[in-house]
């Protein structure tokens, strides 16, 4: 593992995606703690994709057009569901002042699902991780596991930082009904845009 892997991973993590939008929305809607939980959930959601890349399941998924398309459109449907719920101020991203056990569970479940239903992550890691494993290495699997752990840790730290920053702005958001409504619509449009992008990408 060298600076190239770390820099590339940081760029990938910093690029806005469904996990970023979800974490920010959770922090603004329910506070920094909920945002950090969302960051953790999004990080957990990439574990299956990393394992698929390590075990070679990504190649099978890519080879099976039907399986890939089914997972892709499940992801599209879920992003549209988040967009609709956010626009209407319902569901897991509802802006509310309290933290109930039920709302925490919903934040965690939605965060995991956001990344779990994105087949592009599996293919991405399948193509990304092997580039940083020395050719002919006798310890390729442990090397990929270490790279995966570093990538996950980086993802959580960056997303948690987003959550803390957004959480500090939460009081201003809640004090303005107009700003709250506009932010909700921005997040809804963001989820819808990600769904559209995923839908038109080739399987």
Q: Give the closest residue to 79 by CA, choosing from 159, 198, 162, 180.
A: 198
Q: How many helices (H) and strands (E) does the chain have?
A: 11, 0
- Reply yes or no on whether the pLDDT at 32 is more than 60: yes
pLDDT single digits (tens) 142-182: 888 888 889 899 999 999 999 999 888 887 776 666 766 77
Q: Which two tokens stand for residue 12?
A: 């990938």
Domain ranges of the chain: 19-200
Confidence (pTM): 0.74
pLDDT single digits (tens) 107-128: 888 889 888 887 767 777 777 7
Let me know if 203 is exposed, middle or buried by CB neighbors in 10 A (0-12, 13-18, 19+). Answer: middle
149 within 8 A of 157, measured Cβ to Cβ:
no
Eight-class DSSP state of 136: T
Please provide the average confidence, as pLDDT, over all residues in the chain. 78
- Reply yes or no on whether the pLDDT at 9 is more than 90: no
Q: Give the closest residue to 28 by CA, choosing from 79, 96, 81, 130.
A: 96
Q: Which two tokens stand for residue 40?
A: 């953790």
Which pLDDT score, from 0 to 100, does residue 80 have?
A: 83
Q: Give the closest residue to 192 by CA, choosing from 88, 84, 110.
A: 84
Query: Under DSSP, is residue 16 helix (H, G, I), strand (E, B) or coil?
Result: coil
Query: Under DSSP, is residue 168 helix (H, G, I), strand (E, B) or coil?
Result: helix
pLDDT category, 16, cuts 50, 70, 90?
confident
């Amino acid at each position: 593992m060298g600076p190239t892997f770390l820099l590339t991973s940081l760029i990938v993590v910093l690029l806005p995606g469904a996990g970023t939008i979800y974490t920010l929305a959770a922090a603004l809607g329910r506070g920094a703690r909920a945002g950090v939980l969302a960051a953790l959930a999004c990080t957990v959601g990439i574990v299956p994709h990393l394992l698929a890349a390590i075990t070679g399941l990504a190649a099978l998924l890519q080879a099976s057009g039907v399986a890939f398309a089914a997972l892709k459109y499940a992801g599209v449907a879920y992003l549209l569901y988040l967009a609709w719920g956010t626009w209407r101020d319902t569901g897991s991203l509802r802006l509310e002042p309290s933290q109930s056990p039920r709302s925490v569970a919903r934040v965690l479940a939605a965060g995991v699902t956001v990344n779990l239903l994105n087949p592009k992550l599996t293919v991405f890691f399948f193509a990304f991780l092997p580039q940083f494993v020395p050719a002919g290495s006798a310890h390729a699997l442990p090397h990929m596991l270490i790279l995966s752990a570093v990538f996950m840790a980086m993802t959580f730290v960056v997303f948690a930082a987003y959550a803390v920053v957004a959480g500090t702005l939460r009081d201003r958001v809640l004090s303005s009904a107009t700003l709250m409504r506009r932010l909700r619509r921005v997040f809804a449009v963001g989820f819808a845009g990600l769904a559209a992008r995923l839908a038109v990408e080739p399987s």
